[in-house]
Amino acid sequence: MTGLIDGIRKGNFAVFGRAGMDMFADPPGTRADEAETFRADLGGSSANICAGLCKLGMQSALVTSVSDDAAGRFCTKRLQHYGVDTQYLKVLGGEYRISLAVYESCIEDFQLVIYRNNAVDFQVTEADVDRVDYSRFGALITAGTVFAAEPSRGSTFRAFENARKAGLPVIFDIDYRPYSWPSAEVASEVLTRAGEESDLIVGNDEEFGFMAGGLDKGLAKARELAAKDKLVIYKMGQAGAITFAGGEEIRTGIYPVTAVKPNGAGDSFMAGLLAAIAEDRPLKEAVLRGSACASIVVSQPGCAPAMPTTAALDAFLAERNGPTDV
């Protein structure tokens, strides 16, 4: 696990996965099917993680494909706006399209529609991942959606191999999205393999349960992975999280907020966790800072724009008396 922490401490991450366009109803509280005005910004799990890391003072580069159209150029420009390195973006024409998420800032009966037809991010090839200069980075990050289809699936496993050869640890956010996969059986098999090949695994109770073949088996699955000298974070929503590290089980609470939407929390958690480890903070504090980032994001519209800066995160924590008890 020393190699994992040392890699994260370099504060420079190669991130594999999708960028997309988010369109969310404005003002907050407006239903998406009744809105006349929408705000647009960057979205997509991996792109959100990249933006979150940069806003917290880290460096990140996104490895993906974007469409050769206005929506693809919009996402590229928003990545650059947040400070993300875009040199490894591949632009594809034809019928390939960037993903689009349409949602609202409403918790009750939350509506989220994701358009993934001819998704361009699945077109990342082994040649694309071989172009990456892995020696520049401290760690590789990926989110589970990248494994949902070929050639992206095979090329990301190739990136894992390349990272290993370069001495980089692999960080995996399970991020299971059923709509992206051909079947639950394929998803379970592939995500389990990705977990086995990773050094740090982050997921919620449902995702670990899915990998294990039943919700009641998720905690045991997390412990099983941790026993293989992996750092595993098992998130439980309002109940907090359990971090498995070096034979220890660290339980942490959350920072309650009035949420306006549920999405973006996991991406922000990952960014906050990694930035805190890179700053050499104790692991428990790093998990709590990740939890605070998640709370901030769900309390504001949008995903990438809602990711906090270090100053905003510190101010949020200073205003509170600590997390919930566990």
pLDDT of residue 81: 98
The residue ranges of every structural domain in the chain are: 2-181+240-316
Which tens digit of pLDDT belongs to each residue from 122-176?
A: 999 999 999 999 999 999 999 999 999 999 999 999 999 999 999 999 999 999 9
Q: pLDDT at position 178, please?
A: 86
Is the pLDDT assigned to residue 4 strictly greater than 90? yes
Q: Tell me how far apart the alpha carbons of residues 241 and 208 are, in angstroms, rounded to a whole number.
A: 13
Contact 152, 124 (CB under 8 A): yes
Q: What is the largest CA-CA distance in the chain?
A: 54
Percent of residues, the chain, with pLDDT higher than 70: 100
Q: What is the mean pLDDT of residues 189-199?
A: 96
Q: What is the predicted pLDDT for the residue at 214?
A: 86
By percentage, how much of the chain surpasses pLDDT 90?
95
Q: With a cut of 90, say whether residue 200 has pLDDT above it.
A: yes
Q: Are 87 and 137 in contact (CB under 8 A)?
A: no
Is residue 215 very low, low, confident or very high in pLDDT (cuts 50, 70, 90)?
A: confident
Give the CATH fold of the 2-181+240-316 domain: UDP-N-acetylmuramoyl-L-alanine:D-glutamate ligase (3.40.1190)
Determine the pLDDT at residue 208: 95
Query: What pLDDT, on a 0 to 100 scale, did the predictor assign at position 2?
Result: 86
- pLDDT tens across 55-95, in order? 999 999 999 999 999 999 999 999 999 999 999 999 999 99
User: Could you tell me the two tokens for 53?
Assistant: 């890391």
Q: What is the pLDDT of residue 122?
A: 97
Res 126: pLDDT: 98
> What integer pLDDT is reported at residue 297 of this predicted model?
98
Q: What is the pLDDT of residue 86?
A: 98
Judge if pTM exceeds 0.75.
yes
The rounded mean pLDDT for the chain is 96
Cβ neighbours of residue 99 closer than 8 Å, sequence gap 6 or more: 18, 20, 21, 43, 44, 114, 115, 116, 119, 120, 121
3-state class (DSSP) for residue 92 = strand
Model confidence pLDDT, tens digit, residues 217-249: 999 999 999 999 999 999 999 999 999 999 999
Bridge partner residues of 25 (DSSP) = 38
